[in-house]
């Protein structure tokens, strides 16, 4: 399972409600007419993501796909047919964006129920197996899932720990916790 994660934010003079309404129309359109390999999407409103600006209030879209082949189909579908109009309305009013590709690593794929994201990197000198073991206390909790960035595609730290509850990792993890406000859950 892969997730294409896209962060975007409107220009300052754009009405946030209409931007958000058009964003939901786009995701609803994708849910109604899914391209092959596309599972579902979820949209959160966030603030404090250092890779796009600490003070920027942005949207974080999670597109869950079966594998990398589905990414081309999703990309083509986003700008074609019934999806084109709502996509273009949002895109024209977006001041910026950044994206990343993440592979599900452990825990549960339960993006729709998430309330918090902890962005963190594997400590230098730590093997991946040791790193995964160090997070197993949390990844075995109900609803918690660990996602890892693919091929350094994206501006974020290497890992994202999604959770329905706030996770208090040790300070040495240097994780950045963001509150996720659900906007669209694909239901």
> With 80 as the cut, is the pLDDT of residue 1 above it?
yes
Count how many Cα atoms sit within 13 Å of the Cα of residue 177 in the half-sphere of its side chain: 14
pLDDT (tens digit per residue) in 86-119: 899 999 999 999 999 999 999 999 899 999 999 9
Closest CA to 186 of 31, 35, 74: 31
| Confidence bin at 153 (pLDDT 50/70/90) | confident
Tokens 């694909």 label which residue? 186
Fold classification of 2-184 is: Alpha-Beta Plaits (3.30.70)
> With 80 as the cut, is the pLDDT of residue 166 above it?
yes
Dist CA 152 CA 8 (whole Å): 19
> With 80 as the cut, is the pLDDT of residue 171 above it?
no
> With 80 as the cut, is the pLDDT of residue 187 above it?
no
Average pLDDT over residues 23-30: 94
Mean pLDDT check: name the lowest of 1-5, 29-33, 77-81.
77-81
Could you tell me the pTM of the whole model?
Answer: 0.94
Dist CA 183 CA 23 (whole Å): 9
Q: Which residues does 37 contact at the CB level (< 8 Å), separation at least 6? A: 65, 66, 67, 69, 70, 73, 74
Mean pLDDT check: name the lowest of 24-28, 146-150, 152-156.
152-156
By percentage, how much of the chain surpasses pLDDT 90?
A: 82
- Pseudo-torsion of CA 32, 35, 38, 39, nearest 10°? 30
Dist CA 111 CA 114 (whole Å): 5
């Amino acid at each position: 399972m892969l997730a294409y994660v896209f962060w975007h934010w409107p220009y300052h003079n754009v009405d946030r409600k209409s931007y958000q309404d058009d964003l939901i129309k786009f995701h609803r359109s994708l849910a109604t007419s899914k391209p092959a390999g596309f599972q579902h999407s979820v949209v959160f409103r966030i603030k404090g993501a250092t890779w796009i600006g600490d003070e920027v209030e942005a949207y974080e879209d999670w597109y869950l796909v079966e594998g990398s082949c589905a990414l081309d189909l999703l990309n083509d579908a986003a700008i074609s047919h019934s999806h084109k109009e709502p996509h273009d309305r949002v895109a024209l009013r977006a001041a910026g964006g950044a994206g990343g590709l993440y592979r599900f690593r452990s825990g549960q794929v339960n993006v729709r129920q998430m309330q918090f994201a902890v962005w963190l990197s594997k400590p230098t000198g730590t093997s991946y197996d040791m790193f995964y073991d160090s997070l197993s206390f949390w990844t075995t909790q109900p609803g918690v899932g660990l996602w890892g960035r693919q091929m350094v595609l994206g501006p974020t730290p290497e890992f994202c720990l999604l959770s329905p509850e706030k996770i208090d990792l040790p300070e040495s993890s240097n994780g950045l916790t963001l509150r996720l406000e659900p906007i669209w859950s694909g239901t």
